[in-house]
Amino acid sequence: MSLPRAPVSPRRGAAAASSVARVRNFSCPHCRHVVYFDATSCVNCATAVAFDPGARAIVRASSGSPCANARIAGCNWVGRAPGALCESCAYTRTRPADGDVAGLAAFALVEAAKRRLLFELIELGLPLRRFSDGPGGLGFDLLSSAYEPVTTGHQDGIVTVDLAEAEPSYRERMRVQLGEPYRTLLGHLRHEVGHWYETVLVAEGSPQQEACRRIFGDERADYQAALDRHYAHGAPRDWRERFVSAYASMHPWEDWAETFAHYLHINDALRTAAAWGVRVDGPAAGLAEQQPLQSDPPDADGDISELLEAWIPLTLALNAINRSMGVDDLYPFVLGPAVQRKLTFVDQLARGVAPGA
Ligand SMILES: [Zn+2]
Ligand SMILES: [Zn+2]
Ligand SMILES: [Zn+2]
């Protein structure tokens, strides 16, 4: 287990962030065998375990009270009080009814992805405010389109997820239909929470908003017209030079949300690589500007240029390993200079650093 480290750079909510241990590899409290973040028992000694978000540690399940969703959603987090929901489940405003067997199975999968999301948001020290704390707070409506039309999206702090997305065959069909290289529950959540963070980090009328418009375009552009155009004609031919995904080219809001999702992907995966000591000390063939291919993921908060320097070679190596297993690339994206500038802007706002500083 790595030692707790305080972030090097100032962040918004730095007080909270500095008290957050940077633990990302966990062990069984009984036998020390490695266990994953979402474990409910140790594969080696069968001790029942739970994740304690306060301590950011895997603990004996018997040492605290389980989340009230432990049974219904398979939640492995410790509850905030006896009989209460955990820190992650408490962000859910609407869930399927107790008798909805299919809906509850999907709900459990979305909640698992949401715990991963919350784990990172807390670690990054990003501002968090729950819907139950007042208007505009973050909340999740997890709804089944088997009963009513549901559109996955974000409005006024509430993220709606169509539980059909938890069904792998549906999700894969949509992925192929929309020509997307990557479609996961976690990816959906990171994108939608990105919309909320734009409202939190880019205040109306602020200098940040001006800067944001220069980088992502003017978000006052007609959204419905952009949506219609995107689905009628697709992305512009040169989208790869300017956007992280084809969908990002649709409207400045979607560009921000896609970029924000990648900011979370990159931070999460790099921190995990650092915690596990994954390095690339690679083949002589490298990147044009960097010979040979090397990655030493930073163990402390680096700025985005440091992160990207570690990230790009790491993804090349991990994509090669995935191909060895006959599965899709771990990170099927190319981060060109324009996208890197967008990531830099998001990183500065997320850290509470004035853009351009
Ligand atoms: Zn064990
Ligand atoms: Zn829970
Ligand atoms: Zn969106």
Measured between alpha carbons, how far is 21 from 16 in angstroms, rounded to an integer?
10
Q: Taking the alpha carbons of 301, 307, 310, 313 in that order, is the dihedral positive or negative?
A: positive
Q: Which residues contact 266 (CB under 8 A, 6 or more apart)?
A: 307, 308, 311, 343
Helix, strand, coil percentages in the chain from 3-state DSSP, rounded to 5: 45, 10, 45
Predicted pLDDT at 8: 34
Per-residue pLDDT tens digits for 249-273: 999 999 999 999 999 999 999 999 9
Predicted pLDDT at 9: 39
SS3 label, residue 136: coil
- Whole-number Å distance, alpha carbon 2 to ligand 1 midpoint, is 19
- Whole-number Å distance, alpha carbon 20 to ligand 1 midpoint, is 25
* Residue 8 CB coordination number (10 Å): 11
- Whole-number Å distance, alpha carbon 28 to ligand 1 midpoint, is 5
Measured between alpha carbons, how far is 301 from 357 in angstroms, rounded to an integer?
17
Nearest ligand by distance to the CA of 49: 1
Per-residue pLDDT tens digits for 145-162: 999 999 999 999 999 999
Predicted pLDDT at 3: 36
Quote the tokens at residue 357.
């500083």
Question: Could you tell me the pLDDT band of residue 290, with boundaries at 50, 70 and 90?
Answer: low
More confident residue, 341 or 285: 341
Predicted pLDDT at 357: 53
- Whole-number Å distance, alpha carbon 111 to ligand 1 midpoint, is 25
Predicted pLDDT at 298: 85
Predicted pLDDT at 23: 78
Residue closest to 346 by CA, chosen among 194, 220, 240: 194
Q: If you average pLDDT over residues 225-245, what whole number do you get?
A: 96
Nearest ligand by distance to the CA of 119: 2
Task: Give the DSSP letter of residue 248.
Answer: G
Stated pTM of the model: 0.92
Q: If you average pLDDT over residues 84-97, what whole number do you get?
A: 97
H-type helices in the chain, by residue range?
14-18, 70-73, 101-124, 168-177, 185-201, 207-216, 223-233, 239-242, 252-276, 304-324, 337-351
Predicted pLDDT at 1: 35
Measured between alpha carbons, how far is 357 from 347 in angstroms, rounded to an integer?
12
Question: Could you tell me the pLDDT band of residue 293, with boundaries at 50, 70 and 90?
Answer: confident
- Whole-number Å distance, alpha carbon 25 to ligand 1 midpoint, is 14
Q: If you average pLDDT over residues 19-25, what whole number do you get?
A: 68
- Whole-number Å distance, alpha carbon 254 to ligand 3 midpoint, is 5
Question: Could you tell me the pLDDT band of residue 207, with boundaries at 50, 70 and 90?
Answer: very high
- Whole-number Å distance, alpha carbon 87 to ligand 2 midpoint, is 7
More confident residue, 287 or 37: 37
- Whole-number Å distance, alpha carbon 273 to ligand 3 midpoint, is 28
More confident residue, 23 or 351: 351
**Residue 11 burial (10 A CB sphere; 0-12, 13-18, 19+):** buried
Nearest ligand by distance to the CA of 188: 3
- Whole-number Å distance, alpha carbon 74 to ligand 2 midpoint, is 8
CB of 86 closer than 8 Å to CB of 79? yes
Quote the percentage of the chain above a pLDDT of 90. 85
Q: If you average pLDDT over residues 85-93, what whole number do you get?
A: 98
> For 63-72, which contacts have Cβ atoms below 8 Å and span 24 or more sequence positions?
63/29, 69/111, 72/98, 72/104, 72/107, 72/108
- Whole-number Å distance, alpha carbon 33 to ligand 3 midpoint, is 40
- Whole-number Å distance, alpha carbon 68 to ligand 2 midpoint, is 7
Q: Which residues contact 275 (CB under 8 A, 6 or more apart)?
A: 2, 22, 23, 24, 25, 299
Per-residue pLDDT tens digits for 26-62: 999 999 999 999 999 999 999 999 999 999 999 999 9
As residues whose CB is below 5 A from the ion ligand 3, the structure lists: 254, 257
Q: If you average pLDDT over residues 148-177, what whole number do you get?
A: 97
Residue closest to 262 by CA, chosen among 172, 181, 352: 181
Nearest ligand by distance to the CA of 72: 2
What is the rounded average pLDDT for all residues in the chain? 91
